[in-house]
Structure 1
Amino acid sequence: MSCWEAALTPVYSSLTHALAEALVDVLWFVEGSEDEQMDPDDAVKGMEGVTHLLSKLSSEQRNELTELLGIMAAAESNPARREFLNGFPEGFGLLEDGV
């Protein structure tokens, strides 16, 4: 198998899973960045922007993403990242009021 074929081989079960992994990777980086790596105000603006975007998801979409984050957390070997994944739904407004 060539390197191009390997790069095109699907690694995720769905596009949603791949995009959720990418979103978590970016937010994990932002949250863990030192002030010298990223301006704290810019980091907050970026994370607030994601929270706003996620607030526009339908209830069904929020539930799907929350379930996927749970699967990702269960498979995560890094305890700090697993904690981040477990806290993601509440931290980024995916849970409906009272849930």
Structure 2
Amino acid sequence: MPHRITIARYRGDGPVGPVYWPPGDPVAALVSETVRTVRDRTGAEVTSTAQIIASPGLDCPAQSRITLPSGRVTTALHISPHTAPGLPVPQSTEVFCE
């Protein structure tokens, strides 16, 4: 994976807005900053301006803040684990970002 991203994992809502864990160590990923229409965690159609492919088991809850290799900070809209037990394809986690 040629890129590195940093994730500040979403903890929940506090009295003044969203609360995040401190950013973790950089994570290897493949980042594509393209515009696509996707569905968020509520099922609403939204525009994703970045898509990330990372190793399986990536800990990135929806609404987490992600710093992309370009330095842009975005928010995770939807996380999709891809597994195919018994098939000769790689497992991964795909993250669609705001």
TM-score (norm 1): 0.24
Q: Which has the higher helix share?
A: 1
Q: Which has the higher strand share?
A: 2
TM-score (norm 2): 0.24
